[in-house]
Amino acid sequence: MTSSSKPSRSTRLAALTGAALTLPAIAQLAHGNTPTAKTEFGYRYSQYQEDDADKDKVFVGSPERYEVKNHQFRLATPVGDDKVLTIDADYETVSGASAYGTAAGPDGKPMLIMSGASIDDTRKDLLASLRTSREDGSLTFALGYSTEKDYEAFNGAVAFEKLSADRITTWSGGVGFSSDTIEPVQTDGINRIDSDDKWSANGFLAVAKVLSPLWQVQGGVFAALWDGYLSDPYKARDIRPDQRQAFGFTGRSRYYLKSLQAALHTDYRFYNDDWGIESHTLEFSWHQSLGDHFRIVPMVRYYSQSQADFYVETDSVLNTGNQSSDYRLSPFGALSWGASLILEQPDYRITLRGEQYESDGDLALKNVDVENPALVNYTLVTVGFDYRF
């Protein structure tokens, strides 16, 4: 199955939702890798499990949904006095069933046409980045490659950080590019292809400012462009525009409460594209120290989006032009919550994380008359280990 038909990596593992924009290489570069005299090795295992579809909403097919198992490896090592080379590798397996389309039920409401529970795919991803640090900032270059049974992608990015003379203000930015090839394993059906290409470019610019010893804020803007085959070849009748443009902005606040030995993180993100989708994401997390070595981080996130201009509630051969019944293009809202427990030692770190996600038409900011029956609820569990030597 193609990346457009499965939950994207950001949706699965970073718990972003719907059509939320992802900057695959840049998102990582923006955080950077802190120069260190030690080599660091990290491993993360994540298990993503979607709840079964409501049997009363399934017209035909299996109610089972996706299960994703992901192994992430990271190796960061100093190169000389001012450089850090980082290698990230992912190995991911996907199984379950997906929503093929929708059809009108006896009451006229859309019901799911599901595939059989026979999806079995793997994704392998490799990203190498080199960060050069200077007194007034840093510069990072990255190259990546990703492959699946029917999908191949090459990507690259460059990002920078620039500190002011008083070291109170930090500018950051970057650009990224990806070239993808799609070769569906199933080519029979409406609007199917044997092979096609697409590319994407994205960029961001942000500024962070230290307002006090206890408070730091950041604001940024981002933009992205996709061009080429953007439809989902595994849907019943999925025909999308061959270009998509998006922009948005983010705001972040980090406030430290000294008396509680805790920090409140607040993040807001606005997204808008020329497909007609507008979304809002608001997240709060509380970073609480428990003694010298433990930290617990509860979080809650809210998300809401509008529908694409060409979104349809049910698939029909009578429809003309661009159309898709994909739930990720439908109007909905989502609420997720969870917590991380972190053990920090001088030479290693252990992380345990759990998250629950629920989406519903009633959670959207605007009224949703007909909810897409394929909306997803999922559980995400992650175990991580980092070692410095």
pLDDT for residue 28: 43
pLDDT for residue 190: 66
* pLDDT over threshold 50, residue 7: no
Convert the pLDDT of each residue in 251-288 to its tens digit.
999 999 999 999 999 999 999 999 999 999 999 999 99
* pLDDT over threshold 50, residue 32: no
Q: Averaged over 146-170, what is the pLDDT?
A: 94
* pLDDT over threshold 60, residue 229: yes
pLDDT for residue 320: 81
User: Which structure tokens are listed for 40?
Assistant: 């660091």
* pLDDT over threshold 70, residue 191: no
Average pLDDT of the residues of the chain: 89
Instruction: For the chain, give the secondary structure using H, E and C.
Output: CCCCCCCCHHHHHCCCCCCCCCCHHHHHHHHCCCCCCCCEEEEEEEEEEECCCCHHHEEECCCCCCEEEEEEEEEEEEECCCEEEEEEEEEEEEEECCEEEEEECCCCCEEEEECCCCEEEEEEEEEEEEEEEECCEEEEEEEEEEECCCEEEEEEEEEEEEECCCCCEEEEEEEEEEEEEECCCCCCCCCCCCCEEEEEEEEEEEEEEEEECCEEEEEEEEEEEEEECCCCCCCCCCECCCEEEEEEEEEEEEEEEHHHCEEEEEEEEEEEECCCCEEEEEEEEEEEEECCCEEEEEEEEEEEECCCCCECCCCCCCCCCCEECCHHHCCEEEEEEEEEEEEECCCEEEEEEEEEEEEEHHHCCCCCCCCCCCCCEEEEEEEEEEEEC
pLDDT for residue 11: 33
Q: Cα(64)–Cα(115) distance, rounded to whole angstroms?
A: 9
Q: Averaged over 59-87, what is the pLDDT?
A: 94
pLDDT for residue 187: 56
Q: Averaged over 116-132, what is the pLDDT?
A: 89
pLDDT for residue 192: 74
Under a CB-based contact definition with an 8 Å cutoff, are residues 23 and 222 in contact?
yes
> CATH for 9-388?
2.40.160.40
pLDDT for residue 27: 39
Q: Averaged over 26-42, what is the pLDDT?
A: 61
Q: Averaged over 117-127, what is the pLDDT?
A: 88
Is pTM beyond 0.95? Reply is no
pLDDT band at 37 (very low <50, low <70, confident <90, very high): confident
Q: Cα(118)–Cα(244) distance, rounded to whole angstroms?
A: 31
Instruction: Write down the domain spans for the chain.
Output: 9-388
Between 283 and 192, residue with greater pLDDT? 283
* pLDDT over threshold 70, residue 24: no
Convert the pLDDT of each residue in 299-357 to its tens digit.
999 999 999 999 999 988 777 889 999 999 999 999 999 999 999 999 999 999 999 99
pLDDT band at 215 (very low <50, low <70, confident <90, very high): very high
Q: Averaged over 164-190, what is the pLDDT?
A: 88
Q: Cα(206)–Cα(369) distance, rounded to whole angstroms?
A: 38
Q: Averaged over 21-39, what is the pLDDT?
A: 49
